[in-house]
Chain A
Amino acid sequence: MSPPVNNSVLSPPEFGTPVSVWAAPVSSSLPDATSAHETREAGEQVKRYSRLGPGRPRRYGPVIGPLLLLALWTLGSLTGLIDHRTLSPPWVVVKTAGELIASGRLWDNFSTSLGRAAQGLFWGVLAGGLLGVVAGLSRIGEYVVDGPIQIKRAIPTLAVIPLLMLWLGIGEGMKITTIALIVFVPIYIQTHDSLRSIDSRFLELSETLGVSRGEFLRNVVLPGALPGFLLGLRFAVTSSWLALVVVEQVNSTAGIGYMIELARTYGQTEVIIVGLTLYAFLGLGSDLLVRLLQRRVLRWRRTLED
């Protein structure tokens, strides 16, 4: 393509078309010595970590802590340091879990709890998202919506449960409403906030491009608010499990919380542990799902995070 560059003669490259200005094969015409040098540096970079930093990340490193805890628990149970009535040994918990699965009790309770959390989450996200958009996009909307929500936020939702019980009884309606009421707050706040903090530079740009209000909303405001909404969703999912635990211990006849309550009256710590483990998996699993969703929807951010 291009002749080799003679170091002693500098000839200006041709600027015939704009493409040629940028497509000039600058790197390929560099002397070999330079590129060899660059390769060596890059090779060193792979190994080097800053001396004062926290050190090299290791594969499977994050599971070290939990495994250590499990080992201590096993050791304590084996040596008798942990009383079996205080905390059942791991192998009893595993055995009980197996029995609960075999009898179908675990699955029944699990699906009941999952259904409640999912319904509460659905209505809470819907309401929080809609109100957040209303308050975020119009001043009037903000004046009408934001005040009551801030007042509602100041009252702990769990304190409203007695009132909800009077209104809705002690059935599923009350439980789902409570979860939805707790879930909707972080969604609303994050959505509203991120709609309001859209970069004003993009507003200026859109005005000079002469776009319509609809185009601006679709191309700038909503995608710009998406990271905030998804952050709210992560908070919401976590708090939906929290709400679930509370409502399931109030007059339930099914669900993981009910199973735990029942086990408490019979002093079955192993069943309680199984229930808690289930909660842990639900919490971690749903958080993972939201993070996967985040990665997928916010593909454009991945290059910056990596």
Chain B
Amino acid sequence: MAQNTGRLNSNFTEGFISKFADSTPDDRVVEVRRLVRGFGKRIVLDGIDLDIRKGEFVALLGRSGSGKSTLLRALAGLDYEVSGGGQLRVPNKLSVVFQDARLLPWKSLLENVAYGLHGVDPQERARAALAEVGLAGRERAWPGELSGGEQQRVALARALVRDPELLLADEPFGALDALTRLRMHALLRQLCERHRPGVLLVTHDVDEAISLADRIVVIHEGKLIVDLQVELSAQHGLARQARIVEVRKYLLASLGVQTDENHIAEEQAAA
């Protein structure tokens, strides 16, 4: 099995390319095959297969310790001192949004967004990105002056100003309060509709996954056990509500959570 340490040498091996050559027009931005990762003797990812298409919004659900962050870090090329094998291919234009905004406290917002940004007029592009997340006019503010939600918006601007083909988000709204989180969901949806990156959003929040993603995968003990198209956009009104309830129930059950609705249904079935 080919050793793969992440982004820098993430091209497929010879044999692998031939294996997938027949899959005509390749619109996949992520291809993961038989990915294994472990810490010491403990296997964290146990043979993951995952494709993400261009512009597809995928939510990765899992309980804590299920390996969801390990998978994201493997895609981001951040898995050092980890053993494992398998193949993965990710685009070079890849951005990561972490749970903490991870802004350099000694840099202004504009400098933070423009950090490491190359090409034509980085300052102007950073300014436009800040405006896009609703922070126009705050370019010279320090990160320490911002609320948690505002900081995370800067982090989004920093990720999207690079026009990524793949956006990896590791519980980006986990530290925010419920109201701010809802507004961030609206913002992220709009930004993704405009920029159309492939997205892998790691979360443990079922409702967040349903409201944001086109497709939800559930990871459990290092294996993907559910791969579900949400298909909400085509439906309206009651049908949509029913679909949400259905998906929610299914996901919670796959995560091993016993909901009241499940209980009642079971009791009714028993009676």
Name A's B-contacting residues (CB within 8 A): 15, 17-19, 21-23, 201-202, 204-211, 215, 219-220, 223-224, 226, 298-301, 303-304
Contacts and interface: CB of A to CB of B under 8 A. Distances in A.
Interface string B122-134: 0000000001111
Interface of B: 76-78, 94-96, 98, 100, 102, 104-107, 111, 115-116, 131-136, 142-145, 153, 158, 162, 183, 186-187, 190-191
Contact of A210 (B116, B134, B190): B116
Contact of A209 (B116, B135, B145, B187): B116
Contact of B134 (A18, A223, A300, A304): A18
B21 to A, nearest CB: 29
Nearest to B97: A208
Contacts of A304: 144
Contacts, number: 80
A19 B134 contact: yes
A21 B116 contact: no
B104 A223 contact: yes
A14 to B, nearest CB: 11
A19 B104 contact: no
17 contacts: A18-B133, A19-B132, A21-B186, A22-B183, A22-B187, A205-B102, A207-B77, A207-B78, A209-B158, A211-B115, A211-B116, A226-B106, A298-B106, A299-B142, A300-B105, A300-B106, A301-B105
Contacts of A204: 78, 98, 102
- The interface residues of chain A, by DSSP majority, are classed as helix
Contact of B131 (A19, A205, A206): A19
A223 B131 contact: no
A303 B133 contact: no
B203 to A, nearest CB: 19
A82 to B, nearest CB: 52
Contacts of A21: 134, 183, 186-187, 190
B102 A202 contact: yes
Given A208-B76, A208-B77, 15 more contacts: A18-B133, A18-B187, A18-B191, A21-B134, A22-B133, A22-B135, A204-B78, A204-B102, A208-B78, A209-B116, A209-B158, A211-B116, A215-B115, A223-B107, A303-B144
Contacts of B186: 15, 21
Contacts of B98: 201, 204-205
B142 A300 contact: yes
A263 to B, nearest CB: 48
Nearest to B96: A208
A18 B134 CA distance: 6
Contacts of A211: 115-116
A298 B105 CA distance: 10
Given A18-B132, A208-B76, A201 B102 contact: yes
